[in-house]
Amino acid sequence: MREVMTVTGPVPSQELGFCQCHEHIALSKGWSYKVNPALCIDDRSKSLEELRRYRSFGGNTLIEAQPCGCNRMASELLELSEESGVYIIASTGFHKLLFYPGDHWIHRTPAQELLELFVRELEEGMYEDGDLAFPSRQCCARAGIIKTAYDTEELSPRYQELFRAAALAAIRTDRVIMIHVEQGTDPRRLLDYLTNLGVRPRRLMFCHMDRACRDIAVHKDILRSGAYLEFDTIGRFKYHSDEQEIAIFRELMEAGYQGQLLYSLDTTRERLRAYQPSAVGLDYILTTFNPLLRDSGIPEEIIQMISVVNPAKLLC
């Protein structure tokens, strides 16, 4: 099996173990915080506490979904991984453009330069700076995945350029593209755009469709291509209950797509117990949601598939 790039180096995919595929565990206080105060996760000891608790309940790996230039904390991710023993797969790529100030380099850097930047982060090391000026200070920890965001502008000229850079970086490095899907968009258009550029669907992970897209027929259209869906509206009761979440999983499993489903929590400061004592915490799937899946009659082997087998298959 192929190795997967984590912040501490390559890891054989069969060693990844239990993996939540879209998390946030370190975020510096910057523009993201201005947009949403829950997007600041900058207390090292609290983030470490969350990771250690995750590890103690069987969490082995997670994908950190914050890209370059957007309050990512690259070298802190390396330290947190080393100290907690949790493998962290970090992101290069781009987020929704509202998460960057108006004069940020992400708005004007040509696709070719972005492509080279993403590839350097995947093959050499992530940049520690870049929230303001174009990044220049690289560290030794490498990104392992390409984060992208499909916003309500869908494929506007600028987003086309950003997605083209991500697609070409994914093809050149044979890495996975993670896609934030926003409510009110049609992700099938993006699937077509990326596959026309040459990206294989099995290298794509569409995130948040459990809250962004109510039409299960759209989920099935994406799954039919071979792409993966990552669900994380778990323990997020302002959207729906865990029972409703399980009903979405169940419908797609009954259609035979259990080999392409992934899950996570998409944490923010307000959803991490070390920061907010009443919050669910990074261990919520292990301690609460998996037991709910079992009680609802989902077989253990399917839970193992979603949490261990599918992440390894996607990433390798």
Can you give the binding site for Zn ion, defined by CB under 5 A?
A: 65, 266
Alpha-carbon distance 68 to 126, whole Å? 8
> Minimum distance between the CB of residue 95 and Zn ion, rounded to whole angstroms?
8
Amino acid at 124: E
Q: How far is the CB of 177 from Zn ion (least distance, A)?
A: 14
Q: What is the C-alpha separation between 25 and 47, in angstroms, rounded? A: 6
- CB nearer to Zn ion: give 266 or 283: 266
How far apart are CB 136 and Zn ion at their closest, in Å? Answer: 26
Nearer to Zn ion, 65 or 80 (CB): 65
Residue 100 CB, shortest distance to Zn ion, in Å, is 15
For 215, the token pair is 């039409």
CA-based nearest residue to 89, from 68, 69, 71, 62: 62
Decide whether 121 or 266 has the Cβ nearer to Zn ion: 266
Instruction: Give strand pairing partners of 150.
Output: 181
In angstroms, the Cα distances linking 310 to 7, 16, 257, 277 are 20, 11, 11, 32
Q: Where are the beta strands (DSSP E) in the chain?
A: 3-6, 9-12, 19-23, 61-64, 87-89, 91-93, 145-150, 177-181, 204-207, 228-231, 261-263
Secondary structure letter of residue 127 according to DSSP: B
- Shortest distance in whole angstroms from residue 229 CB to Zn ion: 15
Least Å from the CB of residue 281 to Zn ion:
17
65 vs 246 by CB, closer to Zn ion: 65
Shortest Å distance, C-beta 299 to Zn ion = 29
CA distances from 214 to 24, 208, 211, 248, 263 (A): 24, 11, 7, 9, 17
Report how far Cα 300 is from the mean position of its chain's Cα atoms. Answer: 24
- Between CA 168 and CA 150 the distance in angstroms is 17
Decide whether 245 or 266 has the Cβ nearer to Zn ion: 266
Residue number with CB closer to Zn ion (49 or 266)? 266
Kindly tell me which of 65 and 194 has the beta carbon lying closer to Zn ion.
65
For the bound state, the minimum distance from the C-beta of residue 70 to Zn ion, rounded and expressed in Å, comes to: 11
Half-sphere exposure of 81 (CA within 13 A, CB side): 23
| SS3 track for 38-75 | CCCECCHHHHHHHHHHHHHCCCCEEEECCCCCCCCCHH
Judged on CB neighbours under 10 Å (0-12, 13-18, 19+), 259 is middle
Cβ proximity to Zn ion: between 11 and 212 the closer is 212
